[in-house]
Amino acid sequence: MPVNRQVTMAVRPVGEPKLTDFGIVDAQAPSPGPGQVLVKTLWLSLDPYMRGRMSEAKSYARSLQPGDVIVGGTVGQVEASNNNAFKPGDIVLGYAGWQGYYVTDGSDLRKIDPADAPIQSHLGALGMPGMTAYTGLLNIGQPKAGETVVVAAATGAVGALVGQIAKIRGARAVGIAGGPEKCKFLIDELGFDAAVDHRDPEMKAKLKAACPDGIDVYFENVGGAVWDAVFPLLNDFARIPLCGLIAHYNDTAVPEGPDRLPGLMRQALTKRLTLRGFIVSDFAADGPAFQRDMSQWIREGRIRYREDIVEGLDKAPEAFIGLLRGKNFGKLLVKVA
Amino acid sequence: MPVNRQVTMAVRPVGEPKLTDFGIVDAQAPSPGPGQVLVKTLWLSLDPYMRGRMSEAKSYARSLQPGDVIVGGTVGQVEASNNNAFKPGDIVLGYAGWQGYYVTDGSDLRKIDPADAPIQSHLGALGMPGMTAYTGLLNIGQPKAGETVVVAAATGAVGALVGQIAKIRGARAVGIAGGPEKCKFLIDELGFDAAVDHRDPEMKAKLKAACPDGIDVYFENVGGAVWDAVFPLLNDFARIPLCGLIAHYNDTAVPEGPDRLPGLMRQALTKRLTLRGFIVSDFAADGPAFQRDMSQWIREGRIRYREDIVEGLDKAPEAFIGLLRGKNFGKLLVKVA
């Protein structure tokens, strides 16, 4: 039996996760029982939502307990199968988590045709991050031609797609990212209309200059200082799809005042704002439309994406800590095998 | 020429308006020019949004300047007309503001048939407050049968209708109001399923007990402590139509911490909440449906309303200050003539 390397949450992180919060365990790979499939992990997706799973706070999914293998979307290869729907060699999208092997009854698996697109793209542009961008922007943001769409973490797996889909819909795309290299990439490679470096001390003024007609859609996936810069620029009837708050995932206490809640409510009223939180599964019905549109846009070269690849499960904790700090440049993936 | 008594904003209020912020001016009634109509005010509506007009803060409508007659919806009678669409004696809904007479080109007037309903009801259940309740609840709140709808200021002009429309749609209606008399009225007269007194020190616990299945729609028109009681009870996918923040209209400074904004955003994300600000004109297209449904519901006795009537324009400032303190019991109206 091969060794099944697993990365666990050894200790529940307090604030920013530390390397010592993670554990490396070498278990025996499991054997598939009746109806089950053994899948070998090839690619693991690292995504900010995983920080939420490490927290005890009530959320839309259950919390990890100390010792648990960390959850995550994966692309793998079927090694052995007692399930007629799968045969050894099949490439499958699944949810193995941070480990080299897992067994499943197959209900969470979707077969992938490697001829269609690089298999790991099903963890990025053609997968959950892509569908998050597509469904949140189109269902909640509803950008119209000529409107201004702002997205933060704009070179990230979701943000990069939000801006490009906004462009396809005829809107102006303004991206916020960390550092001049990422900002240049947004404009030169992804076709954003403007980019603002959130590390720039003049960020607020530069965002204002980049949005001369205000902001109609703010795709919120970070919170924190970016929110403060965006908020005064929102136009009447602006829409705010909210799918992440990476700036707050490591918060350990209620922030000090002043209390900005009444100000938000007052602006929401006078400007008639719409704020709506969502996760990708809320729009599961849009899956076929997303697959059709995104595949076509990638084929036509209208959507481009960048991957940031780390080799080996052992590197996943460090890479994940970097993701929460914005160190990744593109969709963060672990090449597991 | 008759005397035109006017109530002005003499001084811009800071915090809670004082009687000395208002001025009483006896002007000459104006004469209608070519194409114009002279209207004598019979009824003036007093509504919380007027506090916003007295503020300098940017909003969806322009601010009053010191010395201006205060704005407001009115029902009046045409006294003289140089406009073929109106003749003396016509009863009209208009926007005279806090004064006894005004001239208009008629573009803001709508003729009322006194045989249909009490004419002042066009300032309440059949007017702007009614349409605010109807459009906000149905378009944004979208209550479904069996869901729980909570509304504050529940005996007020808007809140009373929100609860009753929720009932018509098959939802459970929970009202929050100030004092046992108003709470009793909600249940005995308006048919709410439960009522909670916001002055009760146990308000949070009582609201929780009144909403055993959580809250699916919170029609927000007050803010403040009611928001804090409602917020933890919101269910996944709850909707929050936001049309007023009466608890904050007199705020003079950014409130002290803790900062509740990140908590709102986190809950909006994990619970997939929708918060949307609106004013009644955003749903102007729903006017005919509103008129049809509300008239029918009132005729059928399915919607009831209560009026709180003050006699004479001179009493308007005191009554308005009382409105912001929740002293009124029902739709607050000034009988002007």
Question: Domain holding A79: CATH number?
Answer: 3.90.180.10
Of the residues A58, A140, A266, the best mutation for testing chain B's interface (the one with the most B CB atoms within 10 Å of its CB) is: A266
The structural domain count of chain B equals 2
Angstrom distance (rounded) from CA B138 to CA B161? 12
Least CB-CB distance to A277: which of B260, B272, B282?
B272
Query: Do B190 and B279 fall into the same domain?
Result: yes
Angstrom distance (rounded) from CA B42 to CA B180? 33
Mean pLDDT of B270-276: 96
For residue B250, being part of any structural domain is answered with yes
Percentage above 70 pLDDT, chain A: 100
For residue A331, being part of any structural domain is answered with yes
For residue B231, being part of any structural domain is answered with yes
Q: Taking 80 as the threshold, does the pLDDT of residue B246 lie above it?
A: no
Contact A199, A179 (CB under 8 A): yes
Tell me the per-residue pLDDT of A255-297, one tens digit each, with 9 for 90 and over.
Answer: 887 889 998 999 999 999 999 999 999 999 999 999 999 999 9
Least CB-CB distance to A273: which of B254, B258, B277?
B277
For residue A301, being part of any structural domain is answered with no
Query: Do A117 and A192 fall into the same domain?
Result: no
Tell me the per-residue pLDDT of A129-147, one tens digit each, with 9 for 90 and over.
Answer: 999 999 999 999 999 999 9
Query: Do B116 and B200 fall into the same domain?
Result: no
How far away is chain B from the Cα of A287, in angstroms, using its nearest Cα? 19
Tell me the per-residue pLDDT of B218-235, one tens digit each, with 9 for 90 and over.
Answer: 999 988 889 999 999 999
Q: Taking 80 as the threshold, does the pLDDT of residue A254 lie above it?
A: no
Of the residues A269, A272, A281, A283, the best mutation for testing chain B's interface (the one with the most B CB atoms within 10 Å of its CB) is: A269
For residue B75, being part of any structural domain is answered with yes
For residue A211, being part of any structural domain is answered with yes
* Predicted pLDDT at B288: 95
A58 or A15, higher pLDDT: A15
Mean pLDDT of A15-36: 95
For residue B196, being part of any structural domain is answered with yes
Query: Do A55 and A154 fall into the same domain?
Result: no
- Is the omega angle on the peptide bond into residue B258 within 30 degrees of 0, that is, cis? yes
Query: Do A313 and A210 fall into the same domain?
Result: no
* Predicted pLDDT at B60: 76
Tell me the per-residue pLDDT of A151-180, one tens digit each, with 9 for 90 and over.
Answer: 999 999 999 999 999 999 999 999 999 999
Q: How many CB atoms lie within 10 A of CB A10?
A: 16
How far away is chain B from the Cα of A164, in angstroms, using its nearest Cα? 23
* Predicted pLDDT at A252: 73
* Predicted pLDDT at B225: 87
Contact A166, A192 (CB under 8 A): no
Query: Do B114 and B132 fall into the same domain?
Result: no
Dihedral sign, Cα of residue B52, residue B55, residue B61, residue B64? positive
Contact state of A271 with B251 under an 8 Å Cβ cutoff: no
B332 or B225, higher pLDDT: B332
The band of A249, judged by pLDDT with boundaries at 50, 70 and 90, is: confident
* Predicted pLDDT at B135: 98
Q: Which residue, among B96, B6, B72, B79, has the nearest Cα to B38 in the 3D structure?
A: B79
The interface predicted TM-score of the complex, written ipTM, equals 0.89
DSSP 8-state secondary structure symbol assigned to residue A220: B
Query: Do A240 and A314 fall into the same domain?
Result: no
Least CB-CB distance to A255: which of B220, B259, B274?
B259
* Predicted pLDDT at A331: 95
Tell me the per-residue pLDDT of A304-322, one tens digit each, with 9 for 90 and over.
Answer: 999 999 999 999 999 999 9
Burial class (CB in 10 A: 0-12, 13-18, 19+), A84: exposed
B246 or A37, higher pLDDT: A37
Contact state of B60 with A270 under an 8 Å Cβ cutoff: yes
Tell me the per-residue pLDDT of A66-94, one tens digit each, with 9 for 90 and over.
Answer: 999 999 999 999 999 999 999 999 999 99
Query: Do B114 and B214 fall into the same domain?
Result: no
Contact state of B261 with A257 under an 8 Å Cβ cutoff: no
Indicate the average pLDDT of chain B.
94
Contact state of A266 with B248 under an 8 Å Cβ cutoff: yes
For residue B301, being part of any structural domain is answered with no
Query: Do B179 and B279 fall into the same domain?
Result: yes
The band of B244, judged by pLDDT with boundaries at 50, 70 and 90, is: confident
Q: What is the Cα A316 distance to its own chain's centre?
A: 16
Quote the domain boundaries for residue B7. 3-124+306-335
Burial class (CB in 10 A: 0-12, 13-18, 19+), B213: exposed
Query: Do A183 and A91 fall into the same domain?
Result: no
Reading the block at residue A63, the tokens are: 């919390």
The band of A1, judged by pLDDT with boundaries at 50, 70 and 90, is: confident
Query: Do B221 and B322 fall into the same domain?
Result: no
Reading the block at residue B96, the tokens are: 């005279």
* Predicted pLDDT at A149: 98
Contact A301, A149 (CB under 8 A): no
The band of A224, judged by pLDDT with boundaries at 50, 70 and 90, is: confident
Question: Domain holding B216: CATH number?
Answer: 3.40.50.720
Q: Which residues of A sit within 8 Å Cβ distance of B?
A: 52, 57-60, 220, 223, 227, 236, 242-245, 248, 251, 254-279, 282
- The beta strands (E) that lie in chain A are given as 3-9, 22-28, 37-45, 74-81, 91-94, 101-104, 110-111, 148-151, 172-177, 194-197, 215-219, 234-242, 274-277, 307-311, 331-335
* Predicted pLDDT at A111: 96
Query: Do B174 and B162 fall into the same domain?
Result: yes
The band of A248, judged by pLDDT with boundaries at 50, 70 and 90, is: confident
